[in-house]
Structure 1
Amino acid sequence: MSLVSHATSEHLDENHWLLRFELHLPHAYEALWTALTTPDGLRGWLAAADVLERRLGGAVTLRWLNTGTVVSGHVTAWDVERVAEYTVTEHGRIRFHLEPVGTDSTVIRFVNERGGPEATRLDCLAGWHEHFELLDSALAGRPADWAAWTDTRWAALREAYASLARA
């Protein structure tokens, strides 16, 4: 069962989207903060952080280990253990907002504001969905094995999002 409880997209204007995910993860927010804001944490589920200045205005360069995509930008919001936001080339604004639920569960409200046509929107919905599944695995002690990664899961998710769009 997927832990992604809510995934939507909003068309802001021509070729400009707002993608939203809400996840309820059975992990303490301190562990999630580390996974979202440190080079070691990000590598386990998303990308290598070749540069990550952990402060508002700090530089960030992320290198996706499954596709080779490299993006650079800045930290555009930073509220320790609550909000981390990176605005980077190609992927736009990437925002993680954490809300603890008790001591061992956390809600992540995620927003990705970006440009691109409909095909890119579907690609990104599938990509973020898969990365959030990888995040849960990494937090459970099973970080992504990027050398063994294939696009099989991504392709299935993309088709599911495309089917929803056609409905």
Structure 2
Amino acid sequence: MSGSIAQGTGRTRGNAHILHFLVRLPRSMEDVWPAVATPEGLGAWCTAVEVLQPRLDGVVVLRELGSGRVTAWDVDRVAEYSLEGGGRIRFHLERDGDAASVLRFTREFRGEAESESGWRTRFERLIEYIGRHS
């Protein structure tokens, strides 16, 4: 079984952007969680992590995306990082049968620095990563 990336959707209002993706992953939520909630996991497919305090209101520094705070933390389910300048990254995992999961991803940002295709590439790397490490 392999993963799949549903079509991402985006909304723009002025220079504020919101991207949503639905990613089906061939591993359980517990197996996927380290890929979205640890420095090693995020660094392997998303961006290098300089600091990540794994708790509500912990500090987070994501090299290519910015620094800020952990604004939601529900172990094995939700990790949300709010970044300076109004940015936000939210990973929400849900069960998909006994051995798979679905990642509902939201990215809010300002400016033109990111794209749907860039995140699609990241999610392709995530699917490869969890296939090798779970």
Equivalent residue of 1:113, what SS? strand
Which deviations, in whole Å up to 9, do the C-alpha atoms of 1:53-110 show, x marking residues without a partner?
A: 00110000112xxxxx362111011111111001124681000110011221111110
For the pair 1:45 / 2:45, whether they are aligned, the reply is yes
Q: Which has the larger radius of gyration?
A: 1
Q: Which amino acid aligns with 2:110?
A: G
For the pair 1:24 / 2:24, whether they are aligned, the reply is yes
Q: Which amino acid aligns with 2:97?
A: G
Inter-CA distance 35–5: structure 2 relative to 1 (3 Å threshold) = same
Paired residues in the alignment total: 132
In structure 1, the residue matched to 2:6 is 5
- State whether residues 3 and 23 of structure 2, in contact with CA within 8 Å, keep that contact through their aligned partners in structure 1: no
Q: Which amino acid aligns with 2:127?
A: D
- State whether residues 6 and 23 of structure 1, in contact with CA within 8 Å, keep that contact through their aligned partners in structure 2: no
5 Å-filtered alignment, 1:1-167, equals: 3-11=4-12, 13-63=13-63, 69=64, 71-89=66-84, 92-116=87-111, 120=112, 123-141=114-132
1:113 Cα offset (Å): 1.2
Unaligned runs of at least 5 residues, structure 1: 64-68, 143-167
How far, CA to CA, are the matches of 2:96 and 2:130 in structure 1? 16
- State whether residues 91 and 112 of structure 1, in contact with CA within 8 Å, keep that contact through their aligned partners in structure 2: no
- State whether residues 81 and 88 of structure 2, in contact with CA within 8 Å, keep that contact through their aligned partners in structure 1: yes
**TM score, norm. by length of structure 2:** 0.89
Higher strand share: 2
Higher helix share: 1
**Root-mean-square deviation (CA), in Å?**
2.0
Which runs of at least 4 in structure 1 moved beyond 6 Å after TM superposition?
none
Identity of aligned residues (%): 42
Equivalent residue of 1:30, what SS? helix
How far, CA to CA, are the matches of 2:98 and 2:34 in structure 1? 16
- State whether residues 27 and 106 of structure 1, in contact with CA within 8 Å, keep that contact through their aligned partners in structure 2: yes
1:3 Cα offset (Å): 1.6
1:2 Cα offset (Å): 7.5
Inter-CA distance 141–91: structure 2 relative to 1 (3 Å threshold) = farther
Unaligned runs of at least 5 residues, structure 2: none
Q: Which amino acid aligns with 2:105?
A: F
Equivalent residue of 1:40, what SS? helix
1:124 Cα offset (Å): 2.1
Equivalent residue of 2:34, what SS? helix
**TM score, norm. by length of structure 1:** 0.72
1:47 Cα offset (Å): 1.7
